[in-house]
Amino acid sequence: MKNIAVLLSGRGSNFKAIYNSIEAGYIVNARIKAVVSNKAEAPGLQFAKDRCLSSYFVNPSEFESRTAYDTEIIDILKSKGIDLVCLAGYMRLLSAKFVDTFKNRIMNIHPSLLPAFPGLNAQKQALEYGVKISGCTVHFVDKELDHGPIILQKAVEIKGNDTVKDVSERILIEEHKIYPEAVRLFVENRLTVNNRKVSIDYS
Ligand code: GAR
């Protein structure tokens, strides 16, 4: 059994996709043991509460440094025996201590084909740049923003008169497929990380 923690800041649709994949039996031998948010009002946190999952609002204003804040979360995750940390729209940078504590056990989803368009508003960046294809990426987290070893990616076409909303919606549909798939591969011990490269055992 693998214990999963989800860190989120907002809507939590990727969290719901992972949760639903476990409930539906697409991901087996895994359970969500903790949901943590830096935003008290995050709808994703409410979704967790409504399902009686252990949920935590950790208030950034109560901590003097990023490391102190992350230490509080590390303590929660350790007490829950967490194997995998899923960032799902978690809009805070992680400290080096957090990344080291869960090395190659933190995943993130980003709404672009990394290494293109890291950072905020990736869909808007892609549209303004004029690319014809964008997409989404699930990757392990390292100490650089939106940078770690890539697990899965899915391309999405950008059409002539698309708005940011159109592109975001089209990408989100694919996010909800590849994030649960990446979690399933982790839970089934099919992922091996070698420097930047993630190999997947499909046998
Ligand atoms: C998703 O589109 C995710 O890819 C993006 O935030 C959204 C969260 O939606 N993450 C980032 O931009 C991280 N750099 P959700 O709360 O509905 O899962």
DSSP string computed for 126-156:
HHHHT-SEEEEEEEE--SSTT-S-EEEEEEE
Q: How high is the pLDDT of residue 76?
A: 98
Average the pLDDT over 145-156 and give the result. 97
Specify the pLDDT at position 29.
96
3-state secondary structure of 70: helix
Structural domain boundaries of the chain? 1-102, 108-203
**pTM (two decimals):** 0.97
Q: Which fold has domain 1-102?
A: Rossmann fold (3.40.50)
Residues 81-135 have pLDDT tens digits of 999 999 999 999 999 999 999 999 999 999 999 999 999 999 999 999 999 999 9
Answer whether 1-102 and 108-203 agree in fold.
yes
Residues 165-179 have pLDDT tens digits of 999 999 999 999 999
14 labelled binding-site residue: yes
176 a catalytic residue: no
Centroid of chain to Cα 84? 11
3-state secondary structure of 7: strand
**How confident is residue 199, by pLDDT bands cut at 50, 70 and 90?**
very high
Query: What atom of ligand 1 comes closest to residue 11's alpha carbon?
Result: 16
CATH topology of domain 108-203: Rossmann fold (3.40.50)
Q: Ligand 1: which of 106, 172, 173, 176 to mutate, most ligand atoms within 8 Å of CB? A: 172
| 16-35 confidence digits (pLDDT tens) | 999 999 999 999 999 999 99
Instruction: Give yes or no for a contact between 9 and 90, defined as CB atoms under 8 angstroms apart.
Output: yes
